[in-house]
Amino acid sequence: MEFDLIERVRDLTAQARDDVLTGIGDDAAVLTVPAGRELAVAMDTLVAGVHFPPGTRAFDIGWKALAVNLSDLAAMGAVPAWALLSMTLPDADCAFVEGLAEGFAALAAPHRVALVGGDTTRGPLSITVAVHGFLPSGQGLLRSGANVGDVVMVTGTLGDAAAGLRCIGTGRGDDLVARLDRPTPRVAAGGALRGVATACIDVSDGLVADLGHICRASGVAAELDPALLPRSEALRAMFADNDTTAFALTGGDDYELCFTLPSQHVADVSAEMARLGCGATRIGRIVAGQGVRLADTAGQWHAAAVGGWDHFAP
């Protein structure tokens, strides 16, 4: 049964690439990295009841398992190439595996991601994906390059996914739930930021938490104006302004890109992000100090309360 499942996954996710010399079917994949390119590698695990609620469709689990990893590559400015997929399943549910593989393939195809291997085992439901992508040598986006005076920007809108989680089971907020189940990795945006952005991260654990990672890595502080945070019409239509702000600051799971850059590049980057269809919004600035500070309605700055997802928080 295990090998039947593997064969079915291979059939559903087939993607031809010249740099895959040996894919699924041997003890290891044999791959080639193009000359002049560096290899970026990322891996994430989705656990039932932690990263996706009970009742989430298999298709959406497969999509999201790949999307969160492609988002990591996007934050590095990398172009996706290959993936590994490991499935821990309570039982050999062929219909579930097919649905998951179809969701994975639906996102893999437009990014030309080839599934080159993985594993299956029995246990509590969890899905692990490792992705590999290419970068021009020395051009990877890091968290450690933000400078005092840089502008802080973010792609797309924030808070939808966290609000979508709140909407599950209510029969409302389908657009918000869709953002939770099928995030859009900003791969093209990440590539466009190479050589322009000084630091970048994807918003997975919440804006305050993730921007805080940039601040720590770069040895700087950030000041954000909550009134500037981009929030969708769907979010604003369903929740009060205070709630939308909280979702945008700490909700996470949006997988937008938060990045810093010199102010002279803001206009050009804004135009390019608009052309790519995601847009980008200026939300703050990098200053001397530590941590993330937020402006209140009187224009005073206060340290942001610790927020965002922590797997091991009590």
Q: What is the pLDDT of residues 201-247, one digit of tens each?
A: 999 999 999 999 999 999 999 999 999 999 999 999 999 999 999 99
Q: Which of 30-39, 66-75, 214-223 has the lowest mean pLDDT?
A: 30-39
User: In CATH, what number is assigned to the domain containing residue 169?
Assistant: 3.90.650.10
Please report where in the chains the tokens 């050589």 appear, as a residue: 195
For residue 74, give the nearest of 189, 156, 153, 181 by alpha carbon: 189
What is the reported pLDDT for 314?
46
**Cα separation values, 211 from 18, 61, 190, 258, Å:** 38, 27, 16, 7
Rounded Cα distance between 79 and 82, Å, is 10
Q: Which of 101-105, 149-153, 241-245, 309-313 has the lowest mean pLDDT?
A: 309-313
Radius of gyration of the chain (CA): 20
Q: Which of 8-17, 119-128, 283-292 has the lowest mean pLDDT?
A: 8-17
Q: 260 lies in a domain?
A: yes
115 plus 165 within the same structural domain: no
Rounded Cα distance between 184 and 156, Å, is 10
Mean pLDDT of 145-174: 96
Q: Which of 85, 102, 136 is the last residue of a domain?
A: 136
Task: Give the count of domains, the chain.
Answer: 2
65 plus 176 within the same structural domain: no
Q: 37 lies in a domain?
A: yes
Residue 173, sorted as left (phi over 0), alpha (psi -120 to 50) or beta, turns out to be left
Torsion of CA 63, 64, 65, 71, to 10 degrees: 110
Check: pTM over 0.85? Answer yes or no. yes
Rounded Cα distance between 253 and 221, Å, is 23
6 plus 91 within the same structural domain: yes
Q: 218 lies in a domain?
A: yes
Query: Phi and psi (nearest 5°) for 278?
Result: -105, -25
> pLDDT higher for 117 or 16?
117
Task: Give the domain extent around 198.
Answer: 151-303
What is the reported pLDDT for 26?
84
For residue 79, give the nearest of 193, 220, 244 by alpha carbon: 193
